[in-house]
Amino acid sequence: MTIKNQLKTVILIGILTGILLVMGRLLGGNLGMTVALVFSLGFNFLIYWYSDKIALWIYRAKPADGKEYKELHKMVEDITILARVPKPKVYIIPSEQPNAFATGRNPSNASVAFTQGILKLLDKNELRGVTAHEISHVKNRDVLITTIAAAIAGVISYIGAMTRWSAIFGSNDDSGRNNIISLLIIGILTPIVAMIIQLAISRSREYIADESGAKTIKDPLSLASALEKLESGSKVPMKLGSEATSSLFIVNPFRGSAMLSLLSTHPPMNERVKRLKQMRV
């Protein structure tokens, strides 16, 4: 299942990149395609270096004190040893909603953040399962992958907006009207397709982290139990942050205002729990 989801991610990112290049080609020829590519690479570079700092700042995360959170640090360290990755920095988010996320451009520059609520809600084994899930995100470089997908989708949306404005101020003759219709189709449909693909990538990475995290600690049932508790505990949307960053978390912190499942950053919880309970490790 993990290999299948990894292949799916590669294909979807390839489609996103293809949409971006085609839009650049249609709007500006070879030069437009080159500009779109350079813009995408530059945007990805900036996000690659600063996304972790931005995410931690948005959620007011503070470093977990080594004495106060001694057991949490030990748990993270034990699981990183099992996963064979460096120990990430550990942060605490001042929120009573039970949740957690991982961020960082690579395993050597990673952080995991836990809300105060999740430390109160879960027992030791359940919290261990959540930690393994987040460490798997670090090991699999999911933050980088989802960030790249979001960046490309964002650029496509920006170009789509430019295209719509071009259509509005287009020519009034027959050829111009035909061109306007084409521009409107490109400007409206491609950003929607890009967003759906971006969200599909996010959901795929959650399945991978569930599976690889459960295998790391050889305990899928504890993670399944944790997810069930988190699903119930996160019904009230988090007061910090915004929906633009919801894909970072193990469960959607803003699902109280979520749209259709097709437009969700996370897979259906019942499906995640079902897969974990069917696992053999």
Q: Which residues are catalytic?
A: 134
Pairing label, strands 62-63, 89-93: antiparallel
Contact criterion met (CB below 8 Å) for 276 and 220:
yes
| CA 109/CA 54 separation, integer angstroms | 14
| CA 233/CA 228 separation, integer angstroms | 9
Nearest CA-CA partner of 100 in 88, 116, 113, 91: 113
Rounded to 5 degrees, φ, ψ at 205 are -65, -30
Contact criterion met (CB below 8 Å) for 272 and 210:
yes
Token digits of residue 195: 């967003």
| CA 281/CA 276 separation, integer angstroms | 10
Taking the alpha carbons at both ends of the chain, their separation in whole angstroms is 14
Token digits of residue 275: 């897969």
Contact criterion met (CB below 8 Å) for 240 and 95:
yes
